Structure 1
Amino acid sequence: MITRPEVLAPAGDMECLNSALSFGADAVFLAGKMFGMRSASKNFDNTQLKQACELAHAKGAKLYVTCNTLPRNNELDFLPDYLSYAQECGVDAFIIADLGVFEAAKKYAPKVARHISTQAGVTNYATANVLYNMGASRVVLAREIPLDEIAQMRAKIPKDLEIECFVHGAMCVSFSGRCLISSYMTGRDANHGDCAQPCRWKYHLFEENREGQYFPVEEHSDGTYLYNSRDLCMIEHIPELVKAGVSSLKIEGRAKSAYYTAVTTNAYRHAVDGFMTNGENYVLEPWIKEELDKISHREYNTGFYFGKEPGQVTGNGGYIRHYDVVAVCEKSIDDTTTEITQRNKFLVGDTLDVLPPSGIPFNVKCVSLTDEYGNSVDAAPHPMQKLTMKSDVKIPDGSVIRKKKI
C-alpha cells in the first residue's frame, strides 16, 4: 500500500511560514534563536515560536523545530529551558543531530517527537534501527543515499519509523553536513549555522614569485568555482520517491525568501496530489515543472538518487533567474481592480504572471496603475509602493505577481 508523503517546507521567518501554510505544506520546519543551523535567517523568538505553532495547527499542519547544531559545553546550560518551552508551545518534533541533545529532549520535552537530522549522517538500516530503539520516530537520511538503498532500508526498519529525504534546494559540497571549509577560511562555524559558503567562491592559482598574477584552475573566462554544487530538484520523480518508501519530502531553504517557499511548496503539493490521485497513470503537468524555473536557482540535478554524482557548476557561482516578483496582491476590489504592494519595477501594458493561493498560475495584462494619491502612473518604480492596478483578469487576494525577465 502506498502512503501519501508529507510535503515539508522551510521557514526562516513569519512571512515564509505564512507562505508555506498558504501554499499547502503538510508540515513546516524552522528554528528558534538557538540550536538551529541557519544563523543567517531571522528565525523565531519565543513569542513567535508559540504563534508559529498556533498558525500551523490552525491550518492542520505540523511544526518541527531544528535543534541540529553540534553544541559546545558552554551552550548546554541553555538547552533544558529551551526544550521545555518548545514543548509548552506545542511543537510536534525536534530535528536533532547530537546524541546529547537527543537524550536531553527525552528528559525535558518527553511529549515531543524526535527526528534525526541529516547532520547525523544516517546511511544504513542498522543505524536507523539503533536510533529507533533509542526513541527516534524519523530519520532524515544523508543526502548521498540512492533510491534503491532507501528502498532496501525501508524493508529492514520498523514500519512506524519514518524516512525523510531532501527533494529540492541547495546542496552542500560536504553532503552529510560536516563541512569545515568555512571554519578554516573565515572562522565561521558551519555546524553552528554560520557558514560563509566558501564552496561558492571563485578560486585561482597564485604562484608566490609572480605577485599579482592569478591563474584559473581551469580555462574559464570567469574563473573556476571548484566546489559549487548544483541544486537538487526531484519534482519529476515523486512516484519513485514514494515507491521507495520516503515518508516526508523535504524542501531546503530556511535562508530563502517567502516567494521561494511559496513556489516550491506549491509545486510539490500539486505533484504529490497528482500522483496520489492518478497512481500509475500519473503524468507531471508541465506548468508544475515550469514553476520551479521561476525562482532563482543553480542548475538543477537529481543529486545521488539515481547512483550518479550530482557534479559541480565550475564556470560560474551565480543563480539562474528568469522572473522577478513585481508585486503582491493585498486586496481584490472587484473583477478588474486590485490593491497591490510593489516589489520590482513594471509598466502599464506589461503581461504579468500571477501565482494565486490556489497554486495554478495564469497571466494578466496590466491595464492601468494609480498611486496612493489617485494619480494615474505609467510605471511602478518604487519598492513597497501601494498602488491600485486594473487588469483584464481578476487577481485573488494573496497572489504573487511576477514578470518574466527580458
Structure 2
Amino acid sequence: MKKLPEILAPAGDTQSFLAALAAGADAVYVGMKHFSARMQADNFSVKELARMVELARREDRKVYIALNSMLKPTDPAAAGRLIRRLARGVQPHALIMQDLGAVEMARQAGFEGEIHLSTLANITHPAALHAARRMGADRVILPRELDIDEVRQCNDACPEGLDLELFVHGALCYCVSGRCYWSSYMGGKSGLRGRCVQPCRRVYKQKSREGRYFSCLDLSLDVLARNLLDMENLSSWKIEGRKKGPHYVFYTVTAYRMLRDNPGDPSVRKQAEDLLKQALSRPTTHARFLPQRQHPVTAPNDSTSSGMLVGKLARDKKGALEFKPRMELQPQDFLRVGFEDDPWHRTVRVTRRVPKGGAFTLPHAKGRPPAAGTPVFLIDRREKDLVDLLRRWEGRLADVRGGSETSVDFEPVLPVRLDKPGKGFTVLLHGSIPKGRRGGREGGVVDGLWLSPRTAEVSRTLVSRYSWWLPPVIWPNEEDQWKRLITQVLRNGARHFVLGAPWQMELFPENAKIAPVAGPFCNVANPAALAVLERMGFRGAIVSPELSGEEVLSLPSMSPLPLGVVLSGYWPMGVTRNPLQPLKQGEPFLSPKREPFWARRYGQNTWIFPGWPLDITAHQDELKAAGYTIFVHMKEQPPREVPEPSRSSSFNWDLTLL
C-alpha cells in the first residue's frame, strides 16, 4: 500500500513552528538568517534550529532548512561553513536549495541529510528529473504551473531514489519561479535571493484600463488534493507561507491532514473547507490544476491582498478614522490597513475585544493618513484555544536543551581557473529569423536564434552557422516536441547550443556531438556552480545579468569555463505561463510610476519586458580584460506601439545586489 504523502508546513518564527507540530504536520520547512528565499520572514539562528530539530525528532517529525538563495561569487565559502555547522550541530533532515553551487558546498561540507531542489531551480519537465537525481538530489519540488496530468507525467518518469513535492496551498507568483527578475531589475532586490518587493502586485494601466493584473490569488487545491493520493512518487504536500502567522499554519495544516486522511468522507471534507476559509489567506483559486477547467490566477479588479476583509475606514463625527468590523475582533488580532503599495499601508494590533458592528478607531500614526474607504484586513489572530495549545508546546520546547554553538573549519575546494579562455566572439541573439541575413560566424560575430517550431524555415545549409538557444522554461506537455526539434537541427548540422536550464542537457541524444553553453537564465553566479556545470558537460556559461559590476568582473578569475555576458538588449522582467488577459500583447502598459512595459508570447510562455533595454556595452573593454569571451546582444524588437526608450539600464552593474 502506498505511504500517505507528508503534510509539509511553513514556519517563519517559533510560534508558527509550534503551530505546525500542534496541527499534526509531518514535516516543517524553515529558513535561516542568511541564504533563504524568504529573507523578510523572521527566520532562525543555528542555536534555535538545533532545539527545534531535536523537538521534532522527539515527536517523529522532520525539519527541512531552506538555503535556496542564489550564491554570489564570494558566497560559497560562507555557505559551506554554515552547512557544516548545520551538519554538526543541527542535523536537519534535508536542505532545500536552488543553486548548483550550494549543492556542491553541501557535498564538500559533509552534509548527510537529503538534498531537495527548490522550484527556483526550475526543474519543469520529466527528463530533467534524471539529471537532478544524478546530481545527488533526493527530492524535486515541482513548479506551481503544472496541471494534474503533467504532475502525473513527472510522477511516472521519476527515477528510483528521487521523490517529488508539490505545493497544494499558498501564494502564487505570476512569473515562473526562478525566471522572475522584476524586483531585481527595478532596484537590485532579487527574488532569487529572497528580497523580492513584489512589484507585480501593484496597479498597472493599459490605455483606459487599470488593475492589479499580475497580483495572483492564492493556490488552494483543497478537495482536489485527493487526486494526488495515488501517485507513488509524490511524497509531500507542501503549504506555502513562511511569512504567515501561527493561525494560518495551524488551520491549513489541520485542513490538509483531514483531506489526506479522510478523502472519501464528505463531512470531513466540509470541515476542512471551512478551516481553509478561516485561514486568512488571499482569495483562492485552483489555477491550472484541472487542464479541462482552468481557473484564473488573478482578479485584477478585486482585492488579492492577504487576510480577511473586515471593514472599510470612514470618518466619525470628530473626524477620526474608524471602521465597523464585519466580525468580532479579539485581543491580539493583527490588522493590515490598505494594500502593501499604498502610501499609508501599516499593520495594527487589536488591544481589546470589539464586537461585530462595533467601532474600532484607528490609532494615530506618523505619515500620510489613509483615505476614507481604505479596506482593513484581518491577517493573523490568537484564539484562546490556539494560544493555550501553543503554550503547552512552548513547554515542550523549553525542555529541549539543543546543541551548543561550535566553530567549524571549512575551506571550499573551488575550480582551477581556465588558463586559455579562447578567442572571443559576439552573439547577436535574434527574437525571430532575421531577414536579409544568412547566418554567420564571420568577423567574430555569430547569429543566434531561439529554437522553435519555426526552425524548419531555416535552410539546412545554414543550420550549422547559427547558435541555437533553448527557452528558459520547458513544460512536460511539450518535452517530446523539444526532443524532436533538437534531433532535427542536430541532423542538419547544428552543434552550438545555449541552454535555458542545466537540466535541458537531458533532451539531447546520448553522445550528441555538441558544445553546450549554460545560458543567462541558468542564473550562474559563483565558481562552485561553474564547477558543477563543467562536470555536467558544459563548455561555457553566460553569467547571471543580476550581478553587480564588481561581481561580474570577479568571476573569470575563478572559472573553469569560458564565460559570457549579456551586454545589451531587452532582458525580460519575467517569464510566465499564465494568460495575459485582459491586457493585450503588443500594447504598452504602465506602472504606477508611468514606466512602460510590454509583453510577447512564445509558445506556452509570455515574456514581460521593460520599455527600456539593458546596456552595459560601455564596460566591454573591462569585461574583455577580466577574461570574458562571449558577448551577447539580445535583438528583441519591441512592438511598434511601444514608445522609443528615453533611457537604458545598467541593471545592477552600479548597485549592490541584495
Output the TM-score relative to the length of structure 2.
0.47
Q: Within 2, Cα distance between the matches of 1:54 and 1:274? A: 30
- Contact 1:298/1:318 (<8 A) preserved: yes
Q: Within 2, Cα distance between the matches of 1:396 and 1:80? A: 38
Q: Within 2, Cα distance between the matches of 1:58 and 1:296? A: 31
Which of 247, 271, 274 is the matching residue for 2:235? 247
Aligned residue in 2 for 1:82: 82
Q: Against the structure 1 CA distance between its residues 80 and 264, is the aligned structure 2 distance closer, same or farther, given a 3 Å change threshold?
A: same
Q: Within 1, Cα distance between the matches of 2:93 and 2:386? A: 35
Q: Within 2, Cα distance between the matches of 1:281 and 1:47? A: 43
Q: Against the structure 1 CA distance between its residues 77 and 396, is the aligned structure 2 distance closer, same or farther, given a 3 Å change threshold?
A: closer
Aligned residue in 2 for 1:311: 297
Show structure 1 runs of 5+ residues with no match: 206-214, 329-341, 351-385, 401-406
> Does residue 267 of structure 1 match 2:255?
yes
Q: Within 2, Cα distance between the matches of 1:127 and 1:143? A: 16
SS in 2 for 1:73: coil
> Does residue 397 of structure 1 match 2:388?
yes
> Does residue 227 of structure 1 match 2:217?
no
Q: Against the structure 1 CA distance between its residues 33 and 348, is the aligned structure 2 distance closer, same or farther, given a 3 Å change threshold?
A: closer
Cα distance per residue 1:348-393 (max 9 Å; x no partner): 999xxxxxxxxxxxxxxxxxxxxxxxxxxxxxxxxxxx9xx9xxxx
Letter in 2 for 1:269: R
- Contact 1:186/1:196 (<8 A) preserved: no
- Contact 1:93/1:113 (<8 A) preserved: yes
Q: Within 2, Cα distance between the matches of 1:19 and 1:231? A: 21
Aligned residue in 1 for 2:114: 113
Q: Against the structure 1 CA distance between its residues 131 and 319, is the aligned structure 2 distance closer, same or farther, given a 3 Å change threshold?
A: closer
Show structure 2 runs of 5+ residues with no match: 310-326, 333-348, 358-381, 392-658
Range with bigger deviation, 280-289 or 75-84? 280-289
Seq. identity, %: 30
Q: Within 1, Cα distance between the matches of 2:26 and 2:386? A: 26
Letter in 1 for 2:7: V
- Contact 1:7/1:268 (<8 A) preserved: yes
> Does residue 63 of structure 1 match 2:63?
yes
Q: Within 2, Cα distance between the matches of 1:62 and 1:255? A: 20
For residue 283 of structure 1, report the CA deviation from its aligned partner. Answer: 6.4
SS in 2 for 1:397: helix
For residue 110 of structure 1, report the CA deviation from its aligned partner. Answer: 3.2
Which of 306, 309, 321 is the matching residue for 2:308? 321
- Contact 2:285/2:295 (<8 A) preserved: no
Letter in 1 for 2:39: S
Letter in 1 for 2:243: A
Letter in 2 for 1:78: A
Aligned residue in 2 for 1:127: 128
Range with bigger deviation, 281-290 or 4-13? 281-290
Aligned residue in 2 for 1:147: 148
Aligned residue in 2 for 1:238: 225
Q: Within 1, Cα distance between the matches of 2:329 and 2:81? A: 40
Letter in 1 for 2:270: P
Aligned residue in 1 for 2:270: 286
> Does residue 301 of structure 1 match 2:289?
no
- Contact 1:8/1:248 (<8 A) preserved: yes
> Does residue 193 of structure 1 match 2:194?
yes
- Contact 1:325/1:344 (<8 A) preserved: no
Q: Against the structure 1 CA distance between its residues 77 and 324, is the aligned structure 2 distance closer, same or farther, given a 3 Å change threshold?
A: farther
Cα distance per residue 1:29-63 (max 9 Å; x no partner): 01111111011111001211111211221221101
Cα distance per residue 1:190-213 (max 9 Å; x no partner): 1110111111112236xxxxxxxx
Letter in 2 for 1:48: E
Output the TM-score relative to the length of structure 1.
0.74
SS in 1 for 2:12: coil
- Contact 1:6/1:26 (<8 A) preserved: yes
- Contact 1:148/1:244 (<8 A) preserved: no
Larger Rg: 2
Q: Against the structure 1 CA distance between its residues 159 and 344, is the aligned structure 2 distance closer, same or farther, given a 3 Å change threshold?
A: farther
Cα distance per residue 1:275-309 (max 9 Å; x no partner): 3xxxx567653121011111222221112221236
Letter in 1 for 2:211: T
For residue 163 of structure 1, report the CA deviation from its aligned partner. Answer: 0.7
For residue 262 of structure 1, report the CA deviation from its aligned partner. Answer: 1.2
Cα distance per residue 1:44-94 (max 9 Å; x no partner): 012111112112212211010111111101222201111111112110001
Q: Against the structure 1 CA distance between its residues 325 and 93, is the aligned structure 2 distance closer, same or farther, given a 3 Å change threshold?
A: farther
Letter in 2 for 1:274: N
Q: Within 1, Cα distance between the matches of 2:170 and 2:176? A: 13
Cα distance per residue 1:211-248 (max 9 Å; x no partner): xxxx7x52xxxx41120111100111122112234210
